[in-house]
Homo-oligomer: A and B are copies of this chain.
Amino acid sequence: MAPDISGASPGVPIIDRLAIIGLGLIGSSIARAARRNKVATTIVAGDADPAVRARVEELALADEVAPTLAQAAEGADLVILCVPVGADAAVAQEIGLHLKRGAIVSDVGSVKSAVIAAIAPHLPPGVSLVPAHPVAGTEQSGPDAGFDSLFLHRWCILTPPEDADTGAIALVQAFWEALGSNVEIMTPAHHDLVLAITSHVPHLIAYNIVGTVAELEEATRSEVLKFSAGGFRDFTRIAASDPTMWRDVFLHNKDAVLEMLGRFNEDLTALQRMIRRGDGEGLFDLFTRTRAIRRGIVAQGQETAAPDFGRRAAETPAKP
């Protein structure tokens, strides 16, 4: 059913017509990366927001900008939904009947069980669903924020339903590999649990501490901003991520997030107790173990070891 990709080679399009629905940070990065790597013959952009469509035209991110989502999806071989998870159901309903037989629908959502439940019911027979989650991003949003190397050397997790067409899975895998990603396949439920701890709970905690600061009395708050280089500013970077996207993530991965948050809370209570009791040995042991975890991430190639708290001075404007 899916196009033959057995002879795929760099620079030879593996997709004829690629439709990207939602041109935010991720969608616009896919458009840029797909064009740079010549992955698709034609790139079609669809977005519900007229301002975004206008900007996509100005930036010339796509070959065609469709006036409606249905028109963007019409005749496409691969349709990627790059909208907040909470909007997937409505978008799938809007485009479902306009999809051609043999089309593949995919997405980029940070949760997967809920996304499959939202999209699958709206797809007609003969259309394959192969959900994907590129584990990449920045704290910025919108079509201007994307860039073509965002997915390079990053993981992309595919969570195909059990009955998914193997040809369709292979095509989506080839697509992400052509964008420079490493692809991994797992079940939606397992994805949601792993991402709860690697991504969702870290974001939640960052939002929370920045929220705690927002509640401080004005005088203290302005000092916190001033002296933020001591650690706090790194949390604000995470907590500057797109609010709509993250609201939807927490609403749609509730169980796994609450489970992992429970563990975090237990550990924090123990740590609080160590401080209250002056247990220096316990603190030192924990802080030593966490260093080892860091080394593991650098060794896996998912991070640079270059020091970053001391941001390159040249990048930071002088305070008068």
> Can you name 16 A-B pairs with beta carbons within 8 Å?
A135-B227, A139-B307, A155-B229, A198-B223, A208-B267, A215-B263, A226-B300, A227-B302, A236-B290, A236-B297, A243-B283, A247-B280, A254-B276, A258-B275, A303-B311, A308-B308
Give the 6 A-B CB pairs with smallest separation, nearest first.
A199-B230, A243-B287, A138-B307, A202-B231, A240-B294, A239-B290
Contact with A265, one of B247, B258, B268, B317 (Cβ below 8 angstroms): B268
| Nearest CB on B from A109, distance (A) | 12
| Nearest residue, chain B, Cβ from A243 | B287
Residues 209-241 of A at the B interface (beta carbon under 8 Å): 209-216, 220, 223-241
For A297, what are the chain B residues with a Cβ–Cβ distance below 8 Å? 225, 228, 232-233, 236
Chain B minimum-CB-distance residue to A305: B140
Quick check: A150 and B310 within 8 Å, CB to CB?
A: yes
Is the pair A316, B303 in contact by a Cβ cutoff of 8 Å? yes
By beta carbon, the residue of chain B nearest A147 is: B310
Residues on B with C-beta less than 8 A from A300 are 225-226, 228, 319
Q: Is the CB of A254 within 8 A of B275?
A: yes
Nearest to A315 among chain B residues (CB) is B304
Question: In the assembled complex, which residues on chain B have CB atoms less than 8 Å from the CB atom of A316?
Answer: 153, 301-304
How distant is the Cα of A201 from the Cα of B231 in the complex, in angstroms?
A: 9
Q: Which of B136, B200, B209, B267 sits near A264, CB closer than 8 Å?
A: B209
Cα–Cα distance between A205 and B261 once the two chains are bound (Å): 12
- A281 nearest CB neighbor, chain B only: B247
Q: Apart from A137-B230, A139-B307, list 6 A-B contacts with CB within 8 A.
A: A137-B309, A202-B234, A208-B264, A243-B284, A248-B280, A257-B275
The answer to whether A227 and B155 touch (CB under 8 A), given A209-B201, A251-B283, is yes
> A203 on the interface (CB 8 Å rule)?
yes
Chain B, residue nearest A181 (CB): B319
Complex CA distance for A228 and B314, rounded to whole angstroms? 28
Measured in the bound complex, the distance between the Cα atoms of B182 and A105 in whole Å is 54
A254 touches B225 (CB 8 A): no
Q: Judging by beta carbons under 8 Å apart, are A224 and B194 in contact?
A: yes
Given A306-B315, A318-B301, decide whether A155 and B226 contact each other with a Cβ distance below 8 A.
Answer: yes
A152 vs chain B, min Cβ distance (A): 4
**A286 interface residue (CB < 8 Å to B):** yes
- Chain B residue at minimal CB-CB distance from A148: B313
Q: Are A226 and B294 in contact (CB under 8 A)?
A: no
Distance A232 CA – B155 CA, assembled complex (angstroms): 14
Contacts A211-B290, A243-B287, A289-B214; is A228 near B153 (CB within 8 Å)?
A: no
A197 touches which one: B204, B212, B289 (CB < 8 A)?
Answer: B212
Give residues of chain A (147-175) contacting chain B, Cβ–Cβ below 8 Å.
147, 149-150, 152-155, 157
A263–B211 Cα distance when bound, in Å, is: 10
Given contacts A139-B308, A150-B310, A155-B227, contact A247 B293 (CB under 8 A): no
Cβ–Cβ contact A247 & B203, under 8 A: no
User: Are the CB atoms of B147 and A232 closer together than 8 Å?
Assistant: no
